[in-house]
Structure 1
Amino acid sequence: MNKQALILFLISFLLSSVATFSQDLENTPNNTEVTSLFLNDEPLDIKLSYSNKILRKETNDSTYIDSEMSYLPEDGSWQTLAVKIRARGGYRRENCYFPPVKMKIKKSLSKETLFEGNKKLKLVLPCVLQKDYNDMVLKEFLAYKLYEIVSPYHYNTRLLNIDFTDEKGDKLKNYKIKGFFIEDIDNVSDRCGAKQIKRSIHPLEQDDVCSVRNDFFQYMIGNTDYSAAYRHNEKLLYLDEQIIPVPYDFDMSGLVDASYAVVSQIQGESLGIDKVTQRLYRGFKRNDEICQDVRTEFLKNRDEMLALIASMESSFEDPDEFERAEKFIKEFFYLLANDALYEKNILNVARAN
């Protein structure tokens, strides 16, 4: 091989190697599998002990306190894990007896445990101490599970049976409560192979189908406490050159119908309803065909959604709370299947801007 031929061969080899390397990167899946914590649908038993008062007063977005969490995996042997916790949320942090919790777990400590792959978690707890507080948690958990059926871009959740001890100085007060874990948005974006968007983007600039799915879902659960435009109770993902909304925090919805719930007034906007159980469509005007496609999706998912609700009946402490939740969702599907009601309550009230 002469010198010129050798040079051409080397150039060709290098170019092909770069191309192959680039192709390998493109073909490497970005999404990760669901972590072990969220693979099981059975409620997880955990134990927590800390001071609600200290958590509320001495923690903030960057300040955590040290604590421990014990949990009971499938093998039946209690395990203990060191964690850091802080109070989170707006309204619930200030007004609930049990402030919701943000939890951090060191990667080195979670390795080869049920919590491996979850560096951060949200913990949803009951709000006020009343007879139906556990059922309120169940209904919000149910909202997350319903959205799993609707969209592949969702938070994974795990229902919890919590043995919680509130440390009040020398006094200890124990509670047996329901709760659930919500995976961190970092896990959601990694699983979907997406990037997070941390700036405001108008819903009309977001993916049409995903945005309409989100709006139909929020209407289904009777929630106005969200804004994809202002990222209020919404995260945004960037995937395949599209912006995708991912909703969370549904305690102000009509489905949950918590005693403290009020109709949201985001950016001071006054809505024409005064009860959270009154539905109001907050989506923007889109192509009718897109809305019809999403409408068809929801109607096709009706039986699966109602079966999911029915499967949780035995978990409710008050049968009336379960019946109200089931009835509320059935009313949505009745409206959605009726052409006149669909046009009147969704298509004709969609926002122009």
Structure 2
Amino acid sequence: MKRTTLALILFFFISSFSNGQSYPTPDRLFYEIEPLELKLTFSSKEVKINTNDSTYVDIPLFVLDQKKWDTINVSLRARGNFRRSTCFFPPIRMEIKKKARKETLFEHYKKTKIVFPCLIEDEMNDNILKEFIAYKLFELVSPYHFRTRALKLNYTDSSEKLAKKFMLRGFLIEDDSRIAKRTQAKVYKKYIHPKSLDAEGAIKDAMFQYFLGNTDFSMAYQHNGKLVQVGESVIPIPYDFDMTGWVNPSYAVANTSLGLNSVEERVYRGYQREVSIIEKVRQHYLKLAPDFFDIISCYETEFDSPKEFEHIVKFTQSFFEILENDTSFQQNIIDQLRTR
């Protein structure tokens, strides 16, 4: 990355830690901006077919840290039923025993997730970059967010006799337990009706999902989202943004049950709330608009295809045009509020 790009990203990243709260000093794993380089070898077929919540594959992970390679023994499993059946590269949940991660970048991280591209296609790295940027944008929206770290993945697939090597973009996601610790919250595991969630947090989440053109989520069942409890409030935190109009991957399918003909079409899925709180969140997003565009522009030179960068710029513009116009906001947000 260019130095100016790194400086801009660092500025916005640090700004996202404000919002009236104080946090412990972030550790290097998620605080450093430069992509982290990893080398790993495993059979994608074995991981997809033979791993589950209790069955893992053990491999050595090579991590380039401060110009030297560290070797860490880790355990991997695939996650996501759809991605097991659809993707060539499975998304990974990684666990590291305490002894193995001692005095490494992962010392405080027993569990993390590695996001790979889904399919081998021209847009695969740009799709990963778009999803990664979405996480960075939500850092501006709420102090309750998943931290991420860009990755350079040197991956060898040992599924066949002749191993295949890939140089891929990816990113690391922290575990929800780390969010809870970082924000003095508790992970909330139980079912909760969406209308019982913290009103402002729920609207921020619903509006961000609308921004992305996402309908593949349920906070009640924590599908592509997690919950944390802060005092008496339960706050939603979104993740997994690849099946959205923002990313617009080749394998995404429009939700026709909601009347959508394309994944690039938006429909607001938030529940009825006090209009004053919805308006407060609307103004919160409008205030963030310049920062959204600045963050996006930081990554322009990282895209392989200029068209993919142009797509997210136009997608962002269309979102803020709706928020800026009272009539459009009424029609697309207020009139679409769910009652059940």
- C-alpha separation in 1, matches of 2:78 and 2:193: 30
2:64 aligned partner, one-letter code: L
| Matching residue of 2:122 | 131
Provide, for residues 238-279 of structure 1, a one-character-per-residue CA deviation record: whole Å limited to 9, x for no partner: 1111011111111111100010012348xxxx2111211000
| Matching residue of 2:11 | none
| Matching residue of 2:7 | none
2:246 aligned partner, one-letter code: L
Q: Does the CA-based 8 Å contact 2:79-2:90 persist in structure 1?
A: yes
Work out which of the residue numbers 203, 210, 215 in structure 2 matches 1:224.
215
- C-alpha separation in 1, matches of 2:231 and 2:41: 44
TM-score, scaled relative to structure 2: 0.91
Kindly tell me the number of residue pairs found equivalent between the two proteins. Answer: 320
Q: Does the CA-based 8 Å contact 1:84-1:105 persist in structure 2?
A: yes
| Matching residue of 2:290 | 303
- C-alpha separation in 1, matches of 2:25 and 2:84: 32
Provide, for residues 204-244 of structure 1, a one-character-per-residue CA deviation record: whole Å limited to 9, x for no partner: 11101000000010000110111112221111111111011
Work out which of the residue numbers 171, 174, 177 in structure 2 matches 1:183.
174
> SS in structure 2 opposite 1:168?
coil
- C-alpha separation in 2, matches of 1:335 and 1:259: 26
Q: Considering only CA atoms, is the larger Rg found in Structure 1 or Structure 2?
A: 1
| Matching residue of 1:103 | 94
Work out which of the residue numbers 37, 45, 48 in structure 2 matches 1:53.
45
In the alignment, is residue 325 of structure 1 matched against residue 312 of structure 2?
A: yes
- Written as runs of structure 1 = structure 2, the 5 A alignment for 1:185-264 is 185-264=176-255
CA RMSD of aligned residues (A): 1.5
Q: For the structure 1 residues 30 and 238, does the alpha-carbon distance in structure 2 shift closer, same or farther, using more than 3 Å as the test?
A: farther
Shift of 1:31: 6.6
- C-alpha separation in 2, matches of 1:230 and 1:119: 24
**Structure 2 unaligned regions, length at least 5:** 1-20
| Matching residue of 2:263 | 276
- C-alpha separation in 1, matches of 2:53 and 2:100: 22
Shift of 1:170: 2.9
2:285 aligned partner, one-letter code: F
- C-alpha separation in 2, matches of 1:279 and 1:341: 13
Instruction: State the percentage of identical aligned residues.
Output: 44
Provide, for residues 3-61 of structure 1, a one-character-per-residue CA deviation record: whole Å limited to 9, x for no partner: xxxxxxxxxxxxxxxxxxxxxxxxxx997543321011111111111111111111111
TM-score, scaled relative to structure 1: 0.88
Q: Does the CA-based 8 Å contact 1:98-1:128 persist in structure 2?
A: yes
1:328 aligned partner, one-letter code: F
Shift of 1:285: 1.2
Q: Does the CA-based 8 Å contact 2:139-2:145 persist in structure 1?
A: yes
> SS in structure 2 opposite 1:285?
coil
Work out which of the residue numbers 43, 60, 77 in structure 2 matches 1:86.
77
Q: For the structure 1 residues 82 and 264, does the alpha-carbon distance in structure 2 shift closer, same or farther, using more than 3 Å as the test?
A: farther
- C-alpha separation in 1, matches of 2:67 and 2:335: 55
- C-alpha separation in 1, matches of 2:24 and 2:219: 25
| Matching residue of 2:3 | none
Provide, for residues 106-146 of structure 1, a one-character-per-residue CA deviation record: whole Å limited to 9, x for no partner: 12221221111110011100011111100111111111111
- C-alpha separation in 2, matches of 1:190 and 1:107: 18
2:153 aligned partner, one-letter code: I
